[in-house]
Amino acid sequence: MASPLLRLEGVGKRFPNSTTALEGLDMEVRQGEFLSLLGPSGCGKSTALRLIAGLTEPTAGRIDWNGAEAARDADGRRSIGFVFQEPTLMPWASVFANVHLPLKLAGVSRGKAEPAIAEALELVGLEGFRDAYPRELSGGMKMRVSIARALVTKPRLLLMDEPFAALDEITRFKLNNDLLQVWRQLGCTIIFVTHSVFESVFLSSRILVFRARPGRVSAELSIDPNQPRDDAFRTSPEYAGLCRETSLALARAMEAR
């Protein structure tokens, strides 16, 4: 089994307005896995992701980066990319400038960043669009830019918060396929938040099903990472069976009190 990258132990998050989003959350993230967090709306999936990103602090428990070296870049910084549900691009800036942003904030000039930006754009299939502006792109292409921006720093851990929820199904399927290719190519660890049973089964090597608020893990499902994820898999009895099993786990999680 792959070694752990990080572990959440007894993590709780209570907001100042007294909402308890998470309580007693125990979960492990393993190096190189594609882990989905699946659960009903409001069960704290995004909060868990934001805690891992360090965007907010837990009010109980701890986050243990014991395999921390694996999650750091060459400069010793924690190496995390974050993709939000909305692409959140700068409308006044070109695709190139949008993808440059994280490196620019780290003090890397346009010229020096050029190879990394070109590589990130190629990974998401947008090499021909570096000079385009967000208004000239479809929803799926904007999300590709957002993913390229998260990948440009070559993060060891990529956090994705329902990135494809707003896209039509055909675009979503295409981006699912392409994301798996990027994951295999980069060998990074991905934590992916989704509402969709079908999407989680198609993408993941492991799924953690969250129960309703206060959120915590209610079930865990593993899917053979060597199983090819292609159109044949999408229409296979194995896929249908895994989706049924995951739906049942989700239904049980929603009933949990």
Ligand X SMILES: Nc1ncnc2c1ncn2[C@@H]1O[C@H](COP(=O)(O)OP(=O)(O)OP(=O)(O)O)[C@@H](O)[C@H]1O
Contacts (CB under 6 A) with ligand X, residues 17-36: 17, 19, 21
At closest approach, how far in Å is the CB of 42 from ligand X? Answer: 4
**Comparison of 12 and 102: residue with beta carbon closer to ligand X:** 12
43's enclosing H/E stretch is none
Among 46, 94, 189, 246, binds ligand X (CB under 6 A): 46
* Other CB atoms within 10 Å distance of the CB of residue 42: 13
85: Cα separation from own chain's centroid: 10
CB of 185 to ligand X, least distance (A): 28
Q: How many CB atoms lie within 10 A of CB 19?
A: 13
Site for ligand X in 184-223 (CB under 6 A): 195, 213
What distance in Å separates the CA atoms of residue 144 and residue 155, rounded to the nearest whole number? 16
CB-CB contact of 75 with 85 (8 Å): no
> Considering only 40-48, 88-96, 178-186, 227-235, which stretch makes contact with ligand X by CB under 6 A?
40-48
Closer to ligand X by CB, 45 or 130: give it. Answer: 45
For residue 40, how many C-alpha atoms fall within 13 Å in the half-sphere facing its CB? Answer: 17
Q: Supply the minimum distance, in Å, between the C-beta of residue 139 and ligand X.
A: 18
Three-class SS of residue 218?
strand
Using the minimum distance from each CB to ligand X, give the nearer residue, 41 or 185: 41
Shortest Cβ distance from residue 68 to ligand X (Å)?
24
**Residues 60 and 25: beta-carbon distance below 8 Å:** no
Rounded to the nearest 10°, the torsion over CA 105, 109, 112, 117 is 50
The distance in angstroms from the start CA to the end CA of the chain is: 32
CB of 248 to ligand X, least distance (A): 19
Q: Does 41 bind ligand X (CB under 6 A)?
A: yes
Question: Which of 35, 25, 29 shows the shortest CA–CA distance to 7?
Answer: 29
> Footprint of ligand X on residues 112-131 (CB under 6 A)?
none
- Measured from the CB atom, the residue of 21 and 223 that comes closer to ligand X is 21
CB of 46 to ligand X, least distance (A): 3
Choosing from 47, 146, 153, 189, the residue that interacts with ligand X (CB under 6 A) is: 47
Contact present, 209 and 219 (Cβ < 8 Å): yes
Q: Which is nearer to ligand X, 48 or 223 (CB)?
A: 48
CA 74 to centroid of chain Cα atoms = 22
Q: Which is nearer to ligand X, 21 or 209 (CB)?
A: 21
Chain residues binding ligand X by CB under 6 A are: 15, 17, 19, 21, 39, 41-47, 195, 213
